[in-house]
Amino acid sequence: MILNARYPLLNPKLYHQQLPNPLQGAKAGHFNAALADELQWTEQEKKDWIAICSGQHTLDGFSPLAMVYAGHQFGHWAGQLGDGRGLLIAQVLNKDGQTIDLHLKGAGKTPYSRMGDGRAVLRSVIREYLAGHALNGLGIASSNAVGFTSSTQTVQREKAESGAMLLRTADSHIRLGNFEWINQYAPELLAEFTQKCIEWHYPECLEQQNPILAFAEKVIERTAIMIANWQLVGFAHGVMNTDNLNITGSTLDFGPFGFMERFRPNWINNHSDHQGRYTYQNQPSIGHWNLWMWLNNLIPLAQPDDKENFKEALATALEQYEPTFLKHYQQGLAYKMGLPDFHKDSFDCAMQFLHILQSEQLDYTQSFIRLQQQQYQLIRDDCLDVRQFDQFLQHYHNIREHQDLEALQQLMQHHNPRYILRNHMAQRAIEAAEQDDFSEVDRLFQILATPFEQHVLERPEDLAPLPSDVPEVAVSCSS
Ligand code: AMP
Ligand code: MG
């Protein structure tokens, strides 16, 4: 690996250096060799992947560290948080020369663990491993992972479970909550920290008249696009606290996330979220709320005689969030539907379709695949209100008449995944892995790598939700 240790250059108040605490009996889980290649791992490092992904082997030239941050959790100020069970173990250059963080999750207690044990369990590590891989396969900016290891050590949750570690990659682990911590506990570091964030992640902003404002605009834009992409594939993050969103707009720290199956806008995968704050349909507005909380932390960076203007400029920047989101969401939806994005009725027609999915409780991903394959009768057969469906279909055909259908079909093909990580798929892989059989993790890993194409390893249950009379897997917040 080629190191680019830059976070350790920051003021030591912002992190705590310590070594990982390996689990007993670490053993192979799964390894993403293609990602290791992208990150320029040597042949020797690839051979040593189990030792690296279990904290037994650390890299010369980088002292692992836990980052400190703060955050708003479920809408409330939570004070100091931080990496309570993960360590930044390296920053490395990928083949494109981009710096990528390697973060070892489950690496033991840190000064920020609060009541936690510093560990992660195999169940949640597999879910994060497959979901990050799935999002990357879908073309959605997200953390990913080079590999994970299991162990013979048990970790206590609702019951005793296998301890595990995940070597996560991300273009940044700097969260909105890092700014909240600095502003609250070390405001003297804010200017330099912001400057570094811009240099590292948005160097193009340095050429702007007001780099901080340009930075804010970029973070707002990337977050809006990320969330539009989530909505389009039916991804629900689960814990959109300000400490779980980063400044590069790449998906991070999804906890009890889920890919929606039957279309239910008020669906919530996080059973600890009793008020439904982080439902699928709330995600866009929560993104806005989080950014608003974050922007408050930039205000102290205004020139003393320019505070009011700067505040107003930040508020104006945030006004761009909604149109940016809508533009990407509407365009993406038109592509999924195979409708021309410039047509004035396309969005209405898409809404008509979503309304049918909702009222008929149809599977989101499967229904779009059926639409793409022009299997209209299959969708109709699943509808109780066939008149509603016939009206939609008439409208749909009217708009598509005289359009370049071949081009529209191609767009549909590139925007409608055949595979998402359904809860029951992850669950089956987890149950096998708990018996040391990682073949199902590997099968899912392969099909999710190219989710828009039919794969030889496909099983019928990959394409549909469980029958509606089978209870859903409850995904708990304890991970
Ligand atoms: P999350 O919402 O899962 O991202 O976690 C919120 C905070 O709790 C973060 O600061 C985590 O590092 C910390 N945390 C979560 N689980 C544990 C654990 N088992 N041990 C220590 N800290 C934890
Ligand atoms: Mg977190």
**For residue range 292-344, what is the model confidence (pLDDT) as tens digits?**
999 999 999 999 999 999 999 999 999 999 999 999 999 999 999 999 999 99
Q: Is the CB of 255 under 6 A from ligand 1?
A: yes
Interval 464-478 mean pLDDT: 76
pLDDT digits (tens, 9 = 90+) for 197-234: 999 999 999 999 999 999 999 999 999 999 999 999 99
pLDDT at 467: 84
User: In this structure, which residue's CA is closest to atom 8 in ligand 1?
Assistant: 84
Nearest CA to ligand 1 atom 18: 116
Interacting residues of 173 by C-beta distance below 8 A, sequence separation 6+: 67, 88, 101, 103, 246, 252
Torsion angle of the four alpha carbons 124, 290, 6, 20, in this order, in degrees rounded to the nearest 10: -30
Contacts of 23 (CB under 8 A, 6+ apart): 54, 55, 106, 119, 149, 151, 152, 153, 163, 164, 165
The phi and psi torsions of 375 (rounded to 5 degrees) equal -90, 60
117 close to ligand 1 (CB < 6 Angstrom): yes
Is the per-residue pLDDT at 356 higher than 80? yes
Residue of 343, 339, 382 lying closest to 359 (CA atoms): 382
Q: What is the CA radius of gyration of the chain?
A: 23
Active site residues: 243
Residue 472, pLDDT > 80, answer no
Q: What's the CA-to-centroid distance between 243 and ligand 1, angstroms?
A: 10
pLDDT surpassing 80 at residue 103: yes
* 284 alpha carbon – ligand 2 mean position (Å): 19
Mean pLDDT estimate for the chain: 96
Counting from 1 in the atom list of ligand 1, the atom nearest the Cα of 477 is 3
The verdict on the CB of residue 238 being under 6 Å from ligand 1 is no
| Rounded distance from Cα 80 to ligand 1 centre (Å) | 12
Question: What's the pLDDT at 274?
Answer: 83
pLDDT tens-place string over residues 342-355? 999 999 999 999 99
pLDDT in tens, 264-298: 999 888 778 888 999 999 999 999 999 999 999 99
Atom index in ligand 1 nearest the CA of residue 253 equals: 4
Tell me what pLDDT residue 474 has. Answer: 65
Identify the weakest region by mean pLDDT among 87-96, 163-172, 227-236, 269-278: 269-278
pLDDT higher than threshold 90 for residue 470: no
Global pTM reads 0.97
Contact 204/301 with Cβ under 8 angstroms?
A: no
Instruction: Answer whether 85 contacts ligand 1 (Cβ < 6 A).
Output: yes
Q: Is the CB of 187 under 6 A from ligand 1?
A: no
Model confidence at 383: pLDDT above 90: yes
Residue 476 has pLDDT above 80, yes or no: no
Q: How many CB atoms lie within 10 A of CB 44?
A: 7
Handedness of CA 474, 475, 477, 479 (dihedral sign): positive
End-to-end CA distance of the chain: 30
418 DSSP assignment: S
Ligand 2 is an ion; its neighbours by CB within 5 Å are 244, 253
84 falls in which pLDDT band (50, 70, 90)? Answer: very high
pLDDT at 62 over 80: yes
* Ligand 1 within 6 A of CB of 116: yes
Predicted confidence (pLDDT) per residue in 405-449, tens digit: 999 999 999 999 999 999 999 999 999 999 999 999 999 999 999
Query: Best mutation site among 65, 76, 85 for ligand 1, i.e. most ligand atoms within 8 A of its Cβ?
Result: 85
